[in-house]
Structure formats: structure tokens, C-alpha cells
Amino acid sequence: MNSYEKSSRERIFTSQFLLAFGALFFTSLVMYVLMSPITEYAQAMGYSVALSGLASGMYVVGGLISLMLSGHALKFFGWKKTAFIFLGIHLIACFLYFIANDIVSLLIARFVHGFGMGA
């Protein structure tokens, strides 16, 4: 039996694959669901279009910084702990939107949310 036949019998949908797929699917879903309404929400709070765009884009800034730091976290904690830490940050950030009542707290919530998703 050659290596192709041996590898073709391995399962694709393992528990690790399904866990990774589910985590990435839901974090991406939350990102895309909130990207446009955040600008409308900030404008409804009375802030300018520029600040509303900044609130929307702050997610990307947090994600970029998280990408730069996640390599160190992988070395220090390992991939499983790192994944759970950043998923925990992502989950906590989802609840920050409920207490965001001004632009500063909204920017912080968006940054933390992007930071949690970036890794």
C-alpha cells in the first residue's frame, strides 16, 4: 500500500477539525455581521461619519496587533491554550458592546474584539 492509499483512508472531519471550523466560522460571522451596523450605531449615537468609520475599522487594528503578538503567545502557551485564550477574549468582547454607551467605550470594545479574533 503506497502513501496515497494510506492517507486517503484518514478521516477529514475529526473533532479537532470541527472545533477549529466552528471557532473560525463563528468569529468570522460575528465580524461580518457587526462591520456595517457599527457605523450606523455610532452615527445614531450622534458621532460623525469619520468617528463611525474609525469605530468600524478599529476591529482591523486590533486584529493586526493581535497577529503580531500571537506568535509569542504560541511559543509561550502552545496552540491549544493560545486558541482558548483568544477565544475567551473574543467572547468577553462580545459582551462589551452592551456597556458601550459612548465612542471611547465603543472603540475599546471594537479593538478588544479585533484583538480576540486576530490570533
Is the pLDDT confidence value at 111 over 90?
yes
Is the pLDDT confidence value at 106 over 80?
yes
The DSSP 8-state label assigned to residue 108 in this structure reads H
Where do the domains of the chain lie?
17-118
3-state secondary structure of 36: helix
Question: Which one-letter amino acid corresponds to residue 30?
Answer: V
pTM: 0.77
82-96 residue pLDDT tens: 888 888 898 898 899
CA atoms in the 13 A half-sphere facing the CB of 99: 8
